[in-house]
Every structure is written in C-alpha cells, then in structure tokens.
Structure 1
C-alpha cells in the first residue's frame, strides 16, 4: 500500500473516531458510485452527513479544506444523491469537511459543517 493511501486511511480513521466522539454514527466509509467516492457517511439525529476528509502534513500549499474544489464537491453530491435514493432517506442532509492538520507532531481536526451544497 502506498504512503499516500496509508495516510488517507489513517486520516479517515481519525475523522471517523472524531465524529463518533461528537455523537455521530458512521454508516459508511469510502462509498462509491460511478466516479464518485464519499469518504464517510454519518448520521446524527435526523441529519445524514456526507463527509470529505482532507489531511495535510504541511501548510505550505494551504489548509486542508481549501483542497475541496467545485468538481470534487459535484462528485460527492452525485454520490450522495444515489445513497439517499438507495436509503430512501427523507430527513435532512449536509455536506461537511473534516480537515486534519498533522504538523510537527501535533494533530488538529476541524469539522466544517455545510462546507458546500
């Protein structure tokens, strides 16, 4: 497994536990539909949350959340539409980013709610 894939999985593990600790139930990881992949799908109360996880080990190129562009958001929304259809979900939905910064031995996680729609 490549270093990038291992870091991505480690980031998703951190983000999943972060959400669980905040009272979310993680329903799916790495959900795929056509060319879309959603890192985490979680639920809290009557809200289904589609989560993009971004991990960075340097600030040299910007903050993690700045790397979710319009194209990526569109693919996530396409996958979310399919998941909602499969689940026959009637509640609220939200698109979040969990930004992870691991710099100089410190790990910081931030949840950005309603990051895009």
Structure 2
C-alpha cells in the first residue's frame, strides 16, 4: 500500500482520538459525495464541525495545513452542503483543520487543531 495513504490513515486515526478526547461527537468519517470527501464530521457545543485532516512526514516541504488550498476548500464546502441536506441538519457549520506532522524515524507527532480554519466562499 502507498506510504502516503498509510500516513494519512494514521493521521486520521490520531485526529479522531484528539476529537473524541475533547468531547466531540463523531457523526461520520470519510464521507463521500461523488469524488469529494469529508474526513470527519463531528458535533460539539451546538455546531457541526467539518474537519479536514492533513498529515505529513517532518521532511515534507510545507506545513500540512497549507495543503488546504482554495480548490480543496471549495470541494469540502460542496460536500458539506450535501451532507447537511442529506442528514437534515440545522446546526451552524464550522470548517476546521487538524494538521499533523509525524517524524518517520522516531514516530514523534505534532498535532495542531485549527478551529474556524476557513469560511465558505461567496
């Protein structure tokens, strides 16, 4: 299996652990709308949190959160809209990022939770 795919799966598992430990109710993981995916959809404090998880090895040239560019944000927002409609949710939606850097040799991990990381475009 692709090493990047494996690293991504480890990152998503660590993000889930973090969210659960911080009292988020996990509604869905890896939800697909066509080719668009929502990594994690959770609920906390009356908000729906759409959480994008980005994981990189420490030797990578950019911070993981920097990979959530405008195009990626647009895809996340479109998928989130479909999720909200399908599940008839009424809560306000917030878009968050969990940025994870894992040192390949030692396994040391740095996790950064970024609430309200971006807003739907006009």
TM-score tier, shorter chain, comes to: over 0.9
State the secondary structure of the residue aligned to 2:89.
coil
Instruction: For residue 60 of structure 1, report the CA deviation from its aligned partner.
Output: 4.3
1:43-96 deviation digits (Å, cap 9, x = unpaired): 112110011101111254121111110000000000000010011111111000
2: CA distance, partners of 1:50 / 1:66: 17
Instruction: For residue 2 of structure 1, report the CA deviation from its aligned partner.
Output: 2.0
2: CA distance, partners of 1:99 / 1:88: 29
Aligned residues: 117
Equivalent position of 2:65 in the other structure = 65
User: Which runs of 5 or more residues in structure 1 are unaligned?
Assistant: none
State the secondary structure of the residue aligned to 2:112.
strand
Equivalent position of 1:113 in the other structure = 115
The residue correspondences of 1:12-91 to structure 2 (distance < 5 A) are: 12-58=12-58, 60-91=60-91
Root-mean-square deviation over aligned CA pairs: 1.2
Q: Which runs of 4+ in 1 moved over 3 A?
A: none
State the secondary structure of the residue aligned to 1:62.
coil
2: CA distance, partners of 1:59 / 1:115: 24
User: Which runs of 5 or more residues in structure 2 are unaligned?
Assistant: none
Instruction: For residue 35 of structure 1, report the CA deviation from its aligned partner.
Output: 2.3
2: CA distance, partners of 1:6 / 1:25: 25
